[in-house]
Amino acid sequence: MATRPPSEQNPDNSQKLKLQLLDKSLKRYQYQQDALIEILHTAQETFGHLDEAILDYVSIHLKLPPSWVYGVATFYNFFTLEPQGDHVCVICMGTACYVKGAAEIVTKLEEIFEVKAGETTADKKLTLMTARCLGNCSLAPMLTLDGEVLGKQTPESTAAAIQEKIAAVDTCQEKE
């Protein structure tokens, strides 16, 4: 088990900076085991996902078994072990959202974007996820798109919102 993620073996400046941010977080929480979730949040915000090397790094520095760190990272739906797409859509599948059509939204998005829930499109533009409940039942069916809450959605309105986000990024990249 290494004490540095593999990216640290031949790090570029951005990787060094990312690792420094994670180290600062570990230090800020004084390497306390009960700060695991906060530290994992910092790691995910910094690296974009929690790969095995990052989980091992946190495990070593917090003196926790790797299985414990992995268990926490996989238990909560806001952590991801794989790189996500440019855009992330999380559809609430709680009772209120499900009854009001969340499953139809998922089915339509899977069809349009050729991706299954829990996966990322081949072009890495969209990650489609579901969650048991996002806690906004009055907006059912609701979802988050890149962290923004969208309520009272239909399959069509959700697809349009995603296509708009993808088009905006594509337009910006063409200008560069």
C-alpha closest to that of 48 among 92, 97, 15: 15
Considering only CA atoms, which of 145, 147, 149 is closest in space to residue 165? 145
User: What are the residues whose beta carbons fall under 8 Å from the beta carbon of 56, sequence distance 6 or more?
Assistant: 1, 2, 5, 66, 69
Residue ranges of the annotated binding site are: 92, 97, 133, 137
- The single residue listed with the structure tokens 């533009």 is 125
Binding-site residue positions for [2Fe-2S] cluster: 92, 97, 133, 137
